A and B are shown apart, each in its own frame.
Chain A
Amino acid sequence: MAIVAQQTKFSKIFWPVLAWFIALIFFFPIFWMVLTSFKTDADAVKPEFLFTFKPTLENYLNMTANYDYWRFATNSVITSVFATGFALAVGVPCAYAMAFNPSRATKDVLMWMLSTKMLPAAAVLYPMTFLTKNFLGVFDTKFLVIVVLSLINLPIVIWMLFTYFKEIPKEIIEAGKMDGVSTWGEIKDILLPLAWGGLASTALLTFIFCWNEAYWTVRLTTTEAATLSKLIEGNRAPEGLFFGRLSAVSAAAVGPIIVLGWFCQKQLVQGLTFGAVK
């Protein structure tokens, strides 16, 4: 009995300490980045100014004055919000159809959709540039970024929603059908209220993926539709240490998403662990 009590006491201390330790390791790069953003470029690489330094807002002021941070941030918000909305608008009916009216091909279609994520983006860079610039004339527009972000995230959206919808008893939907509810009514009045948590975590994760996307947002934009990813990319320097400047830009770029994640962590965890525990 005493051994069990001792083990319980040990577990009570050990696991939280371990969890905190791991959490701190994961948080450290963010902390380091924010700390460095308040140092001058010269101080940022000097070990004697590791923790004791004269804080400066120079990097943040420079970022807003010279780099037009707000233009990039606005583009990030617009493209991420609309891309998430568009992906959900397409993803919900798709997942509904596959979850409640599956055909023999549903499984293959799901696998095919996932397989599109396996295509290396670089392989289609030239055709994408040619099509969007010379043929469609939508290069460097927010419309293009929204469409691209939606489409590259659509397989994940459909898979996540499909998994959530599968957890809802089919009988509930069928009961609605018996009562004469239309398909749209089934989705709007029965499905979405029941799968609200799943929908929220899917939306949140999609938003984060859109916000962080850096391959296409850098390569399919010039000035008009450039997002924060492009601002960060432009602050990487091959010859010269601008760690203070780069840290400030990075902190300002990830800040909104960290705050959003903080407020929605319950849904986020649910989304990240979907299907893990049945």
Chain B
Amino acid sequence: MTKFKSTALGLTLCVTGAMTASAQELTIAIVNNGHMINMQTVAEAYTAETGVTLNWVSLEEGVLREQVTSDTATGGGQYDVINIGMQEAPIWGAAGWIEPLNFGADYDIDDMLPAIRNGLSYEGTLYAAPFYGESSMVMYRKDLTDAAGVSIADNDSWDNIKAAAMAIHDPDNGVYGACLRGKPGWGDNMAFITTMVNSFGGAWFDADMKPTIDSDEWRAAINFYVDLLGNYGPPGSEGNSFNEILALYNEGKCGMWIDATIAASFLTVDGVAYAQSPNAGNPVGANWLWAWAMAVPAGSPNADAAKAFIEWATSKEYIQAVANHPDFGWGSVPTGTRASTYAYDEFKAVAGFAEAEMMAIESAAPEATDLKPYVGVQFAAIPEFPEVGSAVAQEMAAALSGAKSVDEALAASQAAADSIMREAGYY
């Protein structure tokens, strides 16, 4: 009897062990935003269909970067799928930290918006698949501009933007002409400021990768930024980034906001109209390009299953799954990745910003040019950029708050950037 019990127990353990081994699990590190939260619900169908259990680890953007970097640098294995942005994708791809992605014909990679695809590729190979993409644009209150007798056009001049901000600025009634990012951070104030400098003809580095922050173009752009936001922006702008301005905008306190296109889907005030980002008369506009994408770290023991999941989560099928999900609908589909999304009438009916968003993404130019000899629009796709951007961000916030003059802030920024780039061995 005892022998029988032992045999039965052994068999049970074997069966349980076999079942455990066959049940695949994926650990997915994500940033917390609306689209990612929705994905956790929509992906229940993926688990039901494939049997793959998905463990979600939601992290704040900065912590996610830190944790994924330390995991990857120590051989990986902690995560099977990671959320990364456009800044990291080409760098990590080149370093071999993330695996190249090759999907089947059904995936229709040519449907992916070219600017987004290029930004997530290294030497023509896709290393991260976009989950949602964004550019930036002007989101203004047409009711206020109409009442003030001014207008804002696509790719308007900065002078016209300032004139419009001045006309609608009414702080006594709690309305500020222009709300722009001022909070220091390479992904915060520097995202906007970099695009503004681009539009003034400036760039972060010259062809030898020497910083050019003390150039006339930077000086003109930063003087304009400090003047515009200092005079026609809300008080305490040096503490405002995306979330803070979104709250102000929805309280009816912003006449105009130039920021990520995704903001349009969160706006709840009436009378909002959209325009392409302004420029200062040269070919580069002040619109950025960003995507949150999914990649497979090189150390993942479940790379094939991870790639299969990414293929599903960034497919046309996923867009349909969100649109048809009882909790969501066409207003919740992730945008900025596939041309086919913008072709659906149902989507266009609920997303008044769709056309402006697609135009902004398509016109963003991340590739290196003579004017800007590095990849990236609101950032430079080099490993040192977060450090350079963070140092300059502090100086720009100091200039905005009046703690330093623009010239002092630019000189300090140039010195800091020069020191970082020199130490990194660029020259």
Contact = CB atoms under 8 A, between A and B. Distances in A.
Interface of A: 42, 45-47, 66-67, 125-126, 129-130, 133-134, 139-140, 218-219, 222-223, 226, 230, 233-242
Contacts of B78: 133, 139-140, 222
Given A46-B250, A130-B74, A223-B57, 14 more contacts: A133-B71, A139-B78, A218-B63, A218-B67, A222-B57, A222-B78, A226-B57, A233-B59, A234-B60, A235-B32, A237-B32, A237-B33, A238-B33, A238-B242
Size category, B interface: 35 or more
Contacts of B187: 238
A125 B70 contact: yes
A45 B67 contact: no
A226 to B, nearest CB: 7
B41 A236 contact: no
User: Which of A46, A129, A239 gathers most chain B CB within 10 Å?
Assistant: A239
Nearest to B187: A238
Contacts of A236: 32, 60
B268 A234 contact: no
Contact of B266 (A47, A226, A234, A241): A241
B186 to A, nearest CB: 12
Contacts of B34: 240
Contact of B33 (A47, A67, A233, A239): A239
A94 to B, nearest CB: 32
Interface of B: 27, 31-34, 37, 40-41, 55, 57-61, 63, 66-67, 70-71, 73-75, 77-79, 187, 241-243, 246-247, 250-251, 260, 262-263, 266, 268
A235 B63 CA distance: 12
Contact of A237 (B55, B63, B79, B243): B243
A246 to B, nearest CB: 9
B352 to A, nearest CB: 18
25 contacts: A45-B246, A45-B247, A66-B37, A66-B40, A126-B74, A133-B71, A133-B77, A139-B78, A218-B59, A218-B63, A219-B66, A222-B57, A226-B57, A230-B57, A234-B60, A235-B58, A236-B32, A236-B60, A237-B31, A239-B33, A239-B242, A239-B260, A239-B263, A240-B34, A240-B266
A47 B249 CA distance: 12
A42 B251 CA distance: 11
